Amino acid sequence: MKFFVDTADTSEIKELAATGLLDGVTTNPSLVAKSGRQFKDVIAEICQITEGDVSAEVAATEFDTMIKEADELRKIADNVVIKLPLTFDGLKACKQLTDEGIKTNVTLCFSANQALLAAKAGATYISPFIGRLDDIHLDGLEVIREIRVIYDNYDFDTQILAASVRSPNHVRDCAIVGADVATVPPATLKALVKHPLTDKGLNAFLADWAKTGQSIL
């Protein structure tokens, strides 16, 4: 499974990129607004930090303007992925950009039917929002399972990018049901390494090592 981080905080991205665990970055207008910075400046800096795919979302809702915005975003860096809403205009833009060899991420997906349409439009990534489905008492992971079966049935190349991931358990479950990518907040990615027994065992090892009075250096 690939790990993307869902943030516009470039300091967090730098920290995670240094671990070698980071495969890409996703952003959205809400995350950029929190940064207080200019959108294109943020995307440009992120693209310098990581060689992985960086999703930059269009603000337009109408096809022609989506394409114009996509053309502008493409100029920022070669690893920019154009993020598009799952609407008819978004799918139309996805098809055109895909035909031009541009990577796309179709976002705000909440059903397997929507994911099927995105794959037919040639999306590089489909982003089902599992946390938001859970919020309204629907099963976000079941949607991932359904999409996986459909994509495997027809050999679609579109990658399932699990979004709106809220916890380490979400990450584990997405990996089990076959998501290709999980995009997670920085805190969630860092939490994956944590386990109380790891901490307990390390503390015991350190205590025993201190008793020896030795030093490796």
Decide: 3 and 174 in contact? Cβ < 8 Å: no
**Residues 73, 5: Cα–Cα separation, whole Å:** 19
**Residues 54, 199: Cα–Cα separation, whole Å:** 34
**Residues 194, 160: Cα–Cα separation, whole Å:** 26
Question: Rounded to the nearest 5 degrees, what angle is found at the Cα of 125, between the Cα atoms of 124 and 129?
Answer: 165
Q: Print burial letters for 4-17: b (CB count within 10 Å at least 16), e (below 16).
A: bbbbbbbebbeebb
Does the CA dihedral 52-56-68-38 come out positive or negative? negative
Catalytic positions: 83
